[in-house]
């Protein structure tokens, strides 16, 4: 079933923030917290430090009314910098690739930043863009 979620980026304190939100909303994480060290290595990227490997790659927490908060740590050594425009993302999870492609095409028109729709190592069809108004959109179609 299609849904809309909110994706939050942090500079190394995602786990602390989501532990706080978990207490506020009285809910439990959906699945395990995935760590940066769980990501397959990329020969084009420098290796992560032990501290970076422990950072959060992905976490999901239901909050209320079916809404899910998701989050990740940005990695400073990879050139990531937290700023308005990349700290909060509207996460769209359409039911199929056709709708994902339609949404991405429309939202990325005159985009200032984008990563086109592509197959990802976690099995999803995924893309992200910063629209012409400075709003960041992430589109993810799970294979399930």
Cβ-in-10-Å burial (0-12, 13-18, 19+) of 141 comes to buried
User: What is the value of pTM for the model shown?
Assistant: 0.72
pLDDT at 64 over 80: yes
**CATH 3.10.180.10 location in the chain:** 1-82, 88-144
The answer regarding whether domain 88-144 maps to CATH 3.10.180.10 reads: yes
Of the ranges 36-40, 111-115, 133-137, the best mean pLDDT one:
36-40
The answer to whether residues 90 and 137 touch, using CB atoms and an 8 Å cutoff, is yes
Question: Percent of the chain at pLDDT above 70?
Answer: 97
Cβ-in-10-Å burial (0-12, 13-18, 19+) of 140 comes to buried
45-54: pLDDT as tens digits? 788 889 989 9
pLDDT at 107 over 90: no
- Closest listed residue to residue 112, CA positions, set 92, 94, 86, 88: 86
CATH architecture of 1-82: Roll (3.10)
pLDDT at 85 over 70: no
Q: Within 10 A of 55 (CB to CB), how many other CB atoms are there?
A: 21
């Amino acid at each position: 079933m299609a849904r809309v979620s909110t994706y939050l980026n942090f500079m190394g304190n995602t786990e602390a923030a989501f532990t706080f939100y978990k207490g506020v909303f009285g809910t439990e994480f959906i699945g395990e917290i995935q760590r940066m060290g769980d990501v397959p290595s990329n020969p084009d990227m420098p290796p992560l430090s032990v501290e970076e490997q422990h950072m959060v790659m992905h976490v999901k927490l239901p909050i209320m009314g079916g809404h899910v908060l998701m989050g990740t740590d940005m990695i400073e050594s990879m050139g990531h910098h937290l700023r308005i425009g990349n700290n909060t993302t509207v996460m769209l999870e359409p039911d199929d690739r056709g709708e994902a492609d339609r949404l991405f095409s429309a939202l990325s028109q005159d985009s200032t930043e984008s990563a086109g729709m592509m197959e990802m190592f976690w099995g999803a069809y995924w893309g992200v863009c910063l629209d012409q108004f400075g709003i960041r959109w992430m589109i993810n179609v799970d294979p399930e």
